A and B are shown apart, each in its own frame.
Chain A
Amino acid sequence: MDELERAIVNRLQGGFPLSERPFADAARELGIDEATLIAKLKAMLEAGTLTRFGPMYDAERLGGAFTLCAMSVPAADFERVAALVNAHPEVAHNYERAHRYNMWFVIAAASRAQIAPLVAAIETETGYPVLNLPREQEYFIELRLVA
C-alpha cells in the first residue's frame, strides 16, 4: 500500500462528506484532486484493498435480523459448500477459519422469520448441519483499523 492509499484508509473510514462534490471535498483534505481520489478508490476496490465504499449499515437497527453461522466442512468438499452458501444474497460475509468449524458466515435478512428457513435450506443444499449463533448481547463495536 502506498502513502496515498494509507492516507485514504486512515482519513476516509468515516465522515465522507454529504455535499454536492464529496470526492472533491475529501480530496482537498488529502491534498489531491477529485479525479485522482476517484481513480485511486476504483483501483483500491479492484485490488481488494477496500471491500466497499459507501454507507455502512447496521442491519439490526435497520429492522433486519442477523445471525452468525458455523459449519464443519471436510476439506475436499469445502469449495462446493462455500459456493452454495455464498450464492445466497443474505450471506453477507463468509470466512474460512482454522478450526474443526472451518466456515463462519453472517446472514443478514429482512426479518427474524427468514433466518430459520434459510439455515434449513443451507443444511439441505450442502448436506451439513449449521450452528446458528445469533447475538444475544452486544458489548461494544468499533471497527476502525489503522493502516
Chain B
Amino acid sequence: MNAADEAIVRATQAGLPLVAEPWGAVAQAAGLTQAQLFARLDTMLADGRIRRIGAVPNHYALGYIANAMSVWDVADDAVDELGAQVGALAFVTHCYRRPRRLPEWRYNLFAMVHGRSRANAEAHLAQIRALLAPALRASDVLYSTRILKKTGLRLA
C-alpha cells in the first residue's frame, strides 16, 4: 500500500465527515487533490481493498435479531468443497475455514446466518446441516446477544 492509500485509509476509517463536500475534506486531510483521491478510491474498489462505500447498518436495528454464528466439525478432506457450497447459500453472509484448537475447540467451518427470528435462522441452519451431512461430525450454534464494540478497521 502506498503512502497516499494509507493516508486515505487513515482519513476515512472512522467514517466520512457528514458535510456537503466530504471527499474534499478527505482529500485535504490526505494531502491529495480530489481527482487524485477519486483515482485511488477507484483502484481500491477495483482490487477489493475497499469492499464498498456507504452505510453500514446495525443488524439488530434492521430487525435481524437472530444472528447465528454456526460452527461445524467437517472432515478435513471435504471441508473445502462443502464450505464453498455453504458460502454460496444466499442467507450465509460470511463463511470461513478456521483451525481447530483441540481439545477446547473442534469446529473448523464457520458460517454466519442472519435471521429475522430464531425460527427463521433455525430453518437456514437445517439447510446447512443437510448439505454438510455426509462429512459432518458435530456442530454448534452461537447466537449473539449484544454488540460490545463495532468500529471497523482502525490502523493503529
Contacts and interface: CB of A to CB of B under 8 A. Distances in A.
Contacts of B155: 64, 110
A136 B99 contact: yes
Contact of B98 (A16, A99, A136): A136
Chain B contact residues (Cβ within 8 angstroms of A): what range? Answer: 35 or more
Given A109-B156, A135-B98, 4 more contacts: A53-B56, A56-B51, A99-B140, A114-B156
B149 A61 contact: no
Interface string B40-56: 01101001111111111
A104 B146 contact: no
A133 B53 contact: no
Interface stretch (B78-86, B119-127, B130-138): B78-86
Interface in A1-20: 1, 8-9, 12-16, 18-20
A80 B79 CA distance: 37
B145 A54 contact: no
Contact of A38 (B19, B143, B148): B19
A144 B127 CA distance: 21
A53 B57 contact: no
20 contacts: A14-B53, A14-B54, A15-B54, A20-B21, A53-B56, A58-B50, A61-B47, A61-B49, A62-B9, A63-B1, A64-B153, A82-B149, A92-B151, A96-B146, A97-B142, A98-B142, A101-B142, A137-B97, A141-B94, A147-B57
A110 B20 contact: no
Nearest to B86: A139
B18 A1 contact: no
B93 interface: yes
